A and B are shown apart, each in its own frame.
Chain A
Amino acid sequence: MGTLILSGVARSFGSVVAVRDISFTVRPGDAFGLLGPNGAGKTTTMRMILGILVPDRGTITWNDTPVDLGVRRRFGYMPEERGLYGKLKVRDQIAYFGRLHGIAPPGDERRAATWIERLGLGEYAGRPCAELSKGNQQKVQIACAALHDPELLVLDEPFSGLDPVNAETLLGVLRGLQQAGTTLILSSHQMWQVEDLCESFGVIAGGTVRVEGTLRELRASWPTRIVEVEPASDSLRAVLDATPGATPLPHVDRPLLAYQVPADADTAALLRRLVAAGDVTRFERVEPSLRDIYLRAIEAAA
């Protein structure tokens, strides 16, 4: 396990600035979600981590040493656009990528067989990859990327195009790898899957990191909270209206009272005041979701 540190990394293509100034740290064994809208610079950042692109400036280190070819062979990569040799058989394809990652024969074929069984690809092992469905090709791709028990596995949009069953299978595989000590970096637009898997996140927009940290840290820095109260009676509304800094949320699709309050508001005292004012059947302090944090970071960058 190691620590990945990106520090002041930038990359342009001609006059187009893809990554302006990216810095973040991924701790050993973490699953790090790299979020951002299309064109934010996620893929370019991942390619620089893997040495596919060379940064114009800044440094990328793994365990305090620059990421060179020897280090990169211990990494795994699953790009957004899947790449497989169409005519090569599934078994041979996985073993080939194993050898490229330094697994000498016959270990390559042994590990390929293990992954084929693990991913339920047994009946396709002897078939050319081009004959497989997209979901099964994706499974082959993850096997190619993870066959060598990588120290760091970089996954660009790993869930795109997968049906819920295959997405769940992939989640299970990634959890297993993480438990075995692999550090994960993944980008995805499927927020719930990222939130489910990752401990820490970085939101990129306009080529820079807008927010970074664990979900707890990101929530802690969020300036407001939402309180939801039922029933929507006038007496309870009056208490909320009188609370300093509380503002009603305009669009609520259920008969309840929803107010935004400062993050440091004393919600216990608020609950006591509400109970004193009338019947309270439900009181909830809602933490911001990853989606909220993401959207707010993107809006701020716009």
Chain B
Amino acid sequence: MNATAVVFNAEFKRRITSRPYLFATLIGALSVILIALLPKLFGAALGSEANRVVLVGDPRVTSIAAKLLAKDFTIGATRTSLSAAPNSAYLEANGKSAAVAVIARAGDRLSVLVYARDPSGFGGAFARDLAPLQIAFSTGMSVADIQRQATVSVQVRGIGGRFSDASAANTAKGLGYLFVILLYIAILLNAQAIMASVAEEKTSRIAELLVAMVDPTRLLAAKILASASTGVIQLAVWIAVGGAAGGAIVGIFGDSPSGGVPLDLAPIALPPDEILSLIGFFLVGFLQYSVLYAAAASLINRTEDLGAVAGPLVIPVVLGFVLAQIGLQAPNSPAVAIFSQVPLLAPFVMFTRIAVTNVPAWQIALSLAVNLAAAVAFAWLAGKVYRVGLLLYGRPPSFAQVVRILRT
């Protein structure tokens, strides 16, 4: 039996049966279910409490205002007057409301005074919702007429054929965001698992035995493949659980998990070549980070030092994650296009660009080629560091020593 296969099998079995892995997979699956269920189970309750208001004023005014405000707020109670400025106890006593709005009419002017726990979220909505009432007072028109006349039919259509409408574009952004989070979690969890595995073998001196039987580069490759496999399985479990949870919610509640517009993925369905590109960028990103983490782990002599060598490697992961958020908003900006070619960052940035815009094929091909070449170069350099680092005991090597290792 090939020694690389033996190491792969052992690593795979060890990782997939390890408690931290099982725990992370379970927690991840539960989180996915929770994320899917939360808006349905608690969204209405949480939302109504946060948006519940008490209206105070002349009933002839507050009755119309209540109808206009209903699309943004839940009206907890209606009062004619206040004996004193409302406090928290007053809000609690009136259906745990979030605010009290005193609505007054003076001639043709309408004024609203809002007392709120969180003053940041009410002003704009009140002004927008009550605008028809103000116009009615000024002009003498009925509110219903004003609402009818003020209704504008707006349709947004996509250019370039990616998305047919705004809803599809928003769904794509959401999925792009989800993909990047999954990539981020997968890289951090699994690259650090490789690190821990390398560090264990180094500090327990098993590495010395292993490199006597297995070429260090193959040893490294087997460990990364095993970790990548378990990472993909973990992702697949999360996605499957998410899909099943979503399906169950639709089955039980009869609409989408969020309780809003039914989730229709058909308009954003990616062509097969782009799906392959997404998988390619995921694997390339995973490989780039895995080899770097493994090489870094081979340099430490105590597991306590893992954090010190892992720290610098977290920076490009976080940077890539942040740039991916920018990429979601401005996927075709020159800066984002450039970052989508840069190794370590591209797996995140190109990932989102493919999800939300039509990236020219040559850019995808170039980025894949650049990043694949970078992954191979990282693997080659990491292999050199790993080969030497595994047998370096005593004081951790200085940066100059690492450079010397790379030059030999």
A residues neighboring B (CB under 8 Å): 47, 50-53, 69, 72-73, 75, 77, 79, 81-86, 88, 96-97, 99-102, 104-105, 144
Q: Are A79 and B3 in contact (CB under 8 A)?
A: no
Partner of A83 from the list B1, B205, B214, B391 (CB cut-off 8 Å) is B205
Given A69-B215, A77-B212, A100-B213, A84-B206 contact (CB < 8 Å): yes
Q: Are A83 and B212 in contact (CB under 8 A)?
A: no
Which residues on A sit within 8 Å (CB–CB) of B214? 69, 100
Which residues on A sit within 8 Å (CB–CB) of B204? 83-86
What 0/1 readout, one digit per residue, does chain B (191-233) give for beta carbons within 8 Å of chain A?
Answer: 0000000001100111111111111000000000000000000
Which residues on A sit within 8 Å (CB–CB) of B206? 83-85
* CA–CA, A50 and B215, complex, Å: 12
* CA–CA, A44 and B201, complex, Å: 20
Partner of B208 from the list A81, A85, A88, A96 (CB cut-off 8 Å) is A81
B66 close to A (CB within 8 Å): no
Q: Are B212 and A52 in contact (CB under 8 A)?
A: yes
Which residues on B sit within 8 Å (CB–CB) of A84? 204, 206
Given A79-B208, A83-B208, A100-B6, A73-B1 contact (CB < 8 Å): no
Q: Are B210 and A100 in contact (CB under 8 A)?
A: yes
* CA–CA, A99 and B10, complex, Å: 10
- Specify the main secondary structure of chain A where it touches its partner: loop
Partner of A52 from the list B1, B3, B14, B208 (CB cut-off 8 Å) is B208
* CA–CA, A208 and B253, complex, Å: 82
Which residues on B sit within 8 Å (CB–CB) of A99? 1, 6, 10
Minimal beta-carbon separation of A43 from chain B (angstroms):
10
Which residues on B sit within 8 Å (CB–CB) of A75? 212
Which residues on A sit within 8 Å (CB–CB) of B215? 69
- Specify the main secondary structure of chain B where it touches its partner: helix
* CA–CA, A72 and B201, complex, Å: 20
Q: Are B212 and A81 in contact (CB under 8 A)?
A: no
By the criterion of a CB under 8 Å from any partner CB, how many residues of chain B are at the interface? 21
Q: Are A96 and B6 in contact (CB under 8 A)?
A: yes
Minimal beta-carbon separation of B197 from chain A (angstroms):
10
* CA–CA, A99 and B207, complex, Å: 16
Given A83-B204, A84-B204, A97-B209 contact (CB < 8 Å): yes
**Smallest Cβ-Cβ distance to A86: which chain B residue:** B204
Q: Are B213 and A72 in contact (CB under 8 A)?
A: yes
* CA–CA, A230 and B204, complex, Å: 56
Partner of B205 from the list A53, A79, A97, A105 (CB cut-off 8 Å) is A79
Q: Are A83 and B207 in contact (CB under 8 A)?
A: yes
* CA–CA, A52 and B390, complex, Å: 10
Most chain A CB within 10 A, of B7, B207, B209, B214, is at: B209
* CA–CA, A77 and B214, complex, Å: 13
Top 4 A-B pairs, shortest CB-CB distance: A83-B205, A83-B206, A81-B205, A50-B212
**Smallest Cβ-Cβ distance to B18: which chain A residue:** A87
Minimal beta-carbon separation of A18 from chain B (angstroms):
12
**Smallest Cβ-Cβ distance to B19: which chain A residue:** A87
Minimal beta-carbon separation of B13 from chain A (angstroms):
9
Q: Are A144 and B209 in contact (CB under 8 A)?
A: yes
Which residues on A sit within 8 Å (CB–CB) of B207? 83
Minimal beta-carbon separation of A60 from chain B (angstroms):
13
* CA–CA, A81 and B14, complex, Å: 23
Subset of 10 A-B contacts with CB under 8 Å: A53-B391, A72-B213, A79-B209, A83-B205, A83-B208, A85-B14, A85-B200, A99-B6, A100-B3, A100-B6
Minimal beta-carbon separation of B298 from chain A (angstroms):
14
* CA–CA, A218 and B6, complex, Å: 45
* CA–CA, A50 and B210, complex, Å: 11
* CA–CA, A85 and B201, complex, Å: 8
* CA–CA, A105 and B391, complex, Å: 30
Which residues on A sit within 8 Å (CB–CB) of B212? 50-52, 72, 75, 77
* CA–CA, A96 and B210, complex, Å: 11
Minimal beta-carbon separation of A143 from chain B (angstroms):
13
Minimal beta-carbon separation of B351 from chain A (angstroms):
35
Minimal beta-carbon separation of B18 from chain A (angstroms):
8
Which residues on A sit within 8 Å (CB–CB) of B201? 83
Which residues on A sit within 8 Å (CB–CB) of B210? 100
Known contacts A47-B208, A100-B3; 4 additional CB pairs below 8 A are A52-B211, A73-B213, A83-B201, A83-B206
Which residues on B sit within 8 Å (CB–CB) of A86? 204
Which residues on B sit within 8 Å (CB–CB) of A105? 1
**Smallest Cβ-Cβ distance to A69: which chain B residue:** B215
**Smallest Cβ-Cβ distance to B202: which chain A residue:** A83
Minimal beta-carbon separation of A92 from chain B (angstroms):
9
Minimal beta-carbon separation of A97 from chain B (angstroms):
7
Which residues on B sit within 8 Å (CB–CB) of A88? 14
Minimal beta-carbon separation of B51 from chain A (angstroms):
52
Which residues on A sit within 8 Å (CB–CB) of B200? 85
* CA–CA, A68 and B204, complex, Å: 25
